[in-house]
Amino acid sequence: MKTKNIIRNFSLGLLLFTLSSCGDWLEITPLNDIVLENFWTDKTDVENVVASCYTALLGSDVVSRMLIWGELRSDNMVQGQGIPDAENEILRANILPTNPYTGWTCFYNVINRCNTVLYYAPMVAQKDPNFNESSLKAIEAEAKALRALCYFYLMRTFRDVPYASEPSVDDNQRYDMAPTPFDELLQILIQDLEGCKDYAIKAYGNKAYNTGRITRDAIHALLADLYLWDQDYDNCIRYCDLVIQSKREQYNELNKDKEELASNEYPLIEAETPGSSVTGNSYNQVFGTGNSTESIFELYFLESPGRLTNTTVSRYYGSVNAQRGYLGAPDFIGRDRNGGSNVFLYGNEVFAKKDVRSREYIGRSSGGVFPITKYAYRSVSNENGVYRSTDFANWIIYRLSDVMLMKAEALTNMISETAEEDTASSEAAQAKILLSQSFELVRAVYNRSNPEAGRDSLNFTNYSSKDNMNALILAERQRELMFEGKRWFDLVRMARREGNNTKLVDMVISKYTENQSTIRTKMMSVDALYFPYNEEELKVNSYLKQNPVYITETSSITR
């Protein structure tokens, strides 16, 4: 892998960081390089390197790829203002191995830091009597989860990727290795997390830590996601339930003096400000302030001078200084903000007419492209949003509504084909129960953002089949998680489950105004769901074989 230089430099010159407050732990500033032989002596050394794993994850090259890999190719994104060539080529379905966003070094940098922690931490535990076994295992769980998260992004983007569980600490080590097949790597990650999940910290006692660091809930959410991709729906549901129950307990503890609220089945933050009909309350807590009660894991950008900033939001979505970012929302998404019918699923509209998310996530158009305001708005009140004046928006990886919709998808896809063919069978009766349970999860998420519509705005009879329920879940995931780096991956997961790209292409092709036939033909290949390997990676790793869909007669490297 091309990551050789970064791996060696990190191993031989580990970064030391100041730890002066709870916020500083997640937003550290480098002081000086420490020689390897003088490092790894006590628990603090280990904690410092764990902190550096988060610092690498907060880097703009990582966060921008989370967005671009997970959204840009989907039907959520179109060209905004002055978009750079690299992003524009991806939008145009013209991805080349020379595109810088096919580079993965930044993710392998995080992985190597995690591997370094896992390699040296047990040795430190033998030296430092204050570094007990439970602390060691908790740190190992944290590092393994961060590592698994990085691999999960890589494999969803490139499919088969090189897997390393050892750090680079020896000049004799090889840096080129064969990619691990998608399904095999999925099992490796699952087994790794299954083995460490119970040792993870349940709560740190600090809001920023509880959502900005890996917790047991974060590992459970990641496992639920991995199992969903593995089509192991029983285990997906099991971990979704653990997260939902944990969030319910947290909610009850916070509201123990409010008896009328303490039984809330799904503790979602209400869209309307309590005691009024002013909407924006949930947006302001989840995306404006950040570290909300719904959050499970998010990248925490402490708003303080000299700290790392989230330039991805201001660059791609906009800010007070640039209210139109590089990217925009297609007109078929924004159109219903100012009119249209309330029926979102059977027409081109994505949002119902009064869905508050359409006002929170998408700005009004002044020239045909609707600016993206999610994350870019610091606060929202009914129709009006206030842009951020700084680059410190947190970036959410997992939150409660995401997990609820994962569970709905798993419940629906537990239904067998025979259950719908024989309506009088016991399987059919069970299918109806599963559909009903799935529907209630979706409705809870949908109702939160449609307070004016009431609980009957979604009718179960319209979704009483597996196909219709899957369509509803996919549509609700699009509405709820829009612009969070999820949509393209959701479409790929659907295509993998169905064994073809037809629905994916039908959805995505609608955003193109020209060359639709050429793009459709190109995207129908299963290989086209994934990025090509970067040309530089092919030069240094002889084991990599280029994704066939990106090999042309003019390619300089095809191996």
Could you tell me if 242 and 384 lie in one domain? yes
* 464-479 confidence digits (pLDDT tens): 899 999 999 999 999 9
Could you tell me if 247 and 165 lie in one domain? no
Asked if residue 291 lies in contact with residue 303, where contact means CB atoms within 8 angstroms, the answer is: no
Assigned token pair, 356: 């508050």
At residue 71 the predicted structure's pLDDT band, cuts being 50, 70 and 90, is very high
Q: What are phi and psi of 106, to 5 degrees?
A: -65, -35
Could you tell me if 289 and 320 lie in one domain? yes
Could you tell me if 152 and 286 lie in one domain? no
Q: Which of 171, 200, 229 is the last residue of a domain?
A: 200
Q: Which of 200, 223, 241 is the last residue of a domain?
A: 200
Assigned token pair, 529: 């769901």
Could you tell me if 399 and 252 lie in one domain? yes
The DSSP output letter for 362 is: B
At residue 15 the predicted structure's pLDDT band, cuts being 50, 70 and 90, is very low
**Residue 504: is it exposed, middle or buried by C-beta count within 10 angstroms (0-12/13-18/19+)?**
buried
Residue carrying structure tokens 């924006």: 280
- Report the CATH number that the domain containing residue 67 is assigned in CATH: 1.25.40.390
Residue 194 has pLDDT above 50, yes or no: yes
Task: Please state, in angstroms and rounded to a whole number, the distance separating the CA atoms of residues 333 and 310.
Answer: 26
Q: Is residue 123 part of a domain?
A: yes
Task: Please state, in angstroms and rounded to a whole number, the distance separating the CA atoms of residues 83 and 77.
Answer: 12
* 361-379 confidence digits (pLDDT tens): 998 876 667 899 999 999 9
Q: What is the 3-state secondary structure (H, E, C) of 68-133?
A: HHHHCCCCCCEECCCCCHHHHHHHCCCCCCCCHHHCCHHHHHHHHHHHHHHHHHHHHHHHCCCCCH
Could you tell me if 12 and 142 lie in one domain? yes
Q: Is residue 505 part of a domain?
A: no
Could you tell me if 291 and 393 lie in one domain? yes
* 254-289 confidence digits (pLDDT tens): 887 776 554 568 999 999 998 898 999 999 999 999
- Per the structure, the count of domains in the chain is 2
Could you tell me if 39 and 147 lie in one domain? yes
Assigned token pair, 383: 């129709």
Q: What angle do CA 237, 421, 408 make, to 5 degrees?
A: 20
Tell me which residue range forms the domain holding 2: 1-91+101-200
Q: Is residue 523 part of a domain?
A: no
Q: How far apart are the first and last CA of the chain?
A: 15
Q: Is residue 547 part of a domain?
A: no
Could you tell me if 177 and 219 lie in one domain? no
Q: Is residue 420 part of a domain?
A: no
At residue 28 the predicted structure's pLDDT band, cuts being 50, 70 and 90, is very low
Q: What angle do CA 300, 53, 154 make, to 5 degrees?
A: 90
The DSSP output letter for 532 is: P
Q: What are phi and psi of 363, to 5 degrees?
A: -85, 170
How many C-beta atoms lie closer than 10 Å to residue 447's C-beta?
18
Q: How far is CA 164 from CA 3, 8, 55, 92, 174, in A?
A: 12, 15, 20, 33, 11
Q: Which of 182, 200, 218 is the last residue of a domain?
A: 200
Q: Is residue 532 part of a domain?
A: no
Q: Is residue 549 part of a domain?
A: no
Residue carrying structure tokens 């640039």: 322
The DSSP output letter for 197 is: G
Position 475 scores a pLDDT of 93
Asked if residue 268 lies in contact with residue 445, where contact means CB atoms within 8 angstroms, the answer is: yes
Task: Please state, in angstroms and rounded to a whole number, the distance separating the CA atoms of residues 83 and 89.
Answer: 10
Residue 399 has pLDDT above 50, yes or no: yes
Could you tell me if 191 and 230 lie in one domain? no
Could you tell me if 157 and 239 lie in one domain? no
